[in-house]
Homo-oligomer: A and B are copies of this chain.
Amino acid sequence: MNAVAEPETPVRGARPTTFETLPTVASDVTTRARLGRLLTPHGTVETPQFMPVGTNATVKALDPDDLREAGATMILANTYHLALRPGHERIARLGGLHRFMAWDRGILTDSGGYQVVSLGDRLTIDDDGVTFRSHLDGSPQRFTPEYSIAVQEALGADVAVCFDQPVPPHASSRASVAEATERTHRWAERCLVAHSRPDQALFGIIQGGLEADWRAASTDFLRALPFDGLCIGGLAGDETAAQRRAALDIVVQRLVDDPRPRYLMGLGSPLDLLDAVDAGVDVFDSVLPARVARNGTLWVPGGRLNLRNARFLDDPSPVLEGCPCRLCRTFSRAYLAHLFRANELLAYRLATCHNLTFTLDFMARIRSALAAGTFPRLRRELQAHAASTDAAGEPA
């Protein structure tokens, strides 16, 4: 079933979470998009795939039934947040993260690297690790590669991720990118040594910012290590779409015969996902669909609806005709608009159900097109449709 070349990289022996690429109809050689399947101890994840984010061991406002109904097969949980509260050792005593949150499908934990840098106060980074103050209570904290791995092994997700030092892609100097990337490489080697849980896969993280040579060097460095998958970090930040695509092309070109899954961290808007799939990425995560949903922004083909707009208060139609989500199959735009105005808790759940269903359906549509050999056409159509929407992003 595997249509790509044999791995040229070292492997660490049999892993419970494995990846296989699937044959697709030969179509357009201009795309690197690929169809695959991540086999985890908690079920199969068809790729390209999007992982909703469950920061505090809950995808905000949803329960596991909602997530299953939306089509989620794997979610991301945040190591930084869970280590601080309720504590990874507590979760381990309670049977691990799957049991704690009653989610029996796939889980990936990030390493905490991004949150330490973005949320921690009074940050000092040295070669051994990062010292900071908790954003919750100001308590002193220290994350090292070894500690991040220990936390992730305690949480027990299907996939753990190396502790890295991301930098803002566009705003960072070449020197700071170089320093963070080299440190990330040293930490990757330490994470490999530290990681021992046999039922958990470990992904490395490629950094390199927007510096072409550092992106290439980081890809080559990580590729040579026996990780089960490769994350592409330090993007989905302040860079332009063109800058991101250029960085992705450098990475994927150097991984083109590598059979391991490629996971671009933090990307979530449909057109961005489409472009990154085209560039050859298999897995994504982002808080974006859920966060904008809680603000009243509902995604529809080619645009979005702001349910806080007064015009929806009298609109009896569903947010999206034919959408199978809990919101659209039952309630009107008028009702959702009312719930948002009244600050009713149900608004957040219904809107989140919709945007995650929309995003996961969008990925399923991409997979169908890949299987049928029509992905390049789908991409052209969706980009043209998006270009016809107005500046506010509302559908034309």
Residues of A within 8 A of B (CB): 56-58, 60-64, 85-86, 90, 93-95, 100-102, 313-314, 316, 326, 330-332, 334-335, 337-339, 341-342, 344-346, 348-350
Q: List 14 A-B contacts (CB under 8 A).
A: A56-B338, A56-B344, A57-B338, A58-B342, A61-B349, A62-B346, A63-B326, A63-B330, A64-B330, A94-B334, A100-B332, A100-B334, A100-B335, A345-B349
Name the B residues within 8 Å of A326 (CB-CB): 63
Name the B residues within 8 Å of A56 (CB-CB): 338-339, 342, 344
15 more contacts with CB within 8 A, not counting A58-B346, A85-B341, are A56-B339, A58-B339, A62-B346, A63-B330, A63-B346, A63-B349, A64-B330, A90-B314, A93-B314, A94-B316, A94-B332, A100-B338, A101-B335, A102-B331, A345-B348
Residue of B nearest to A93 (CB): B314
A306 to B335 alpha-carbon distance, docked (Å): 33
A331 to B56 alpha-carbon distance, docked (Å): 15
Name the B residues within 8 Å of A57 (CB-CB): 335, 338
User: Counting chain B CB atoms within 10 Å of each CB, which of A64, A102, A344 scores highest?
Assistant: A344
**What is the total number of copies of this protein in its complex?**
2
B90 with A344: CB separation less than 8 A: no
Name the B residues within 8 Å of A330 (CB-CB): 63-64, 102
A18 to B335 alpha-carbon distance, docked (Å): 30
Q: In the complex, how many angstroms separate the beta carbon of A293 from the nearest chain B beta carbon? A: 12
A213 to B95 alpha-carbon distance, docked (Å): 63
A345: contacting residue among B61, B93, B314, CB under 8 A: B61
Name the B residues within 8 Å of A335 (CB-CB): 57, 94, 100-102
A58-B339, A95-B316, A326-B63 given; A90·B345 CB < 8 A: no
Q: In the complex, how many angstroms separate the beta carbon of A81 from the nearest chain B beta carbon? A: 8
Residue of B nearest to A339 (CB): B58
B349 with A314: CB separation less than 8 A: no
A90-B334, A94-B314 given; A85·B349 CB < 8 A: no
Name the B residues within 8 Å of A62 (CB-CB): 346
Q: In the complex, how many angstroms separate the beta carbon of A335 from the nearest chain B beta carbon? A: 6
B342 with A85: CB separation less than 8 A: yes
A272 to B389 alpha-carbon distance, docked (Å): 58
A342 to B338 alpha-carbon distance, docked (Å): 27
A313: contacting residue among B86, B101, B342, CB under 8 A: B86
A222 to B122 alpha-carbon distance, docked (Å): 70
Residue of B nearest to A341 (CB): B85
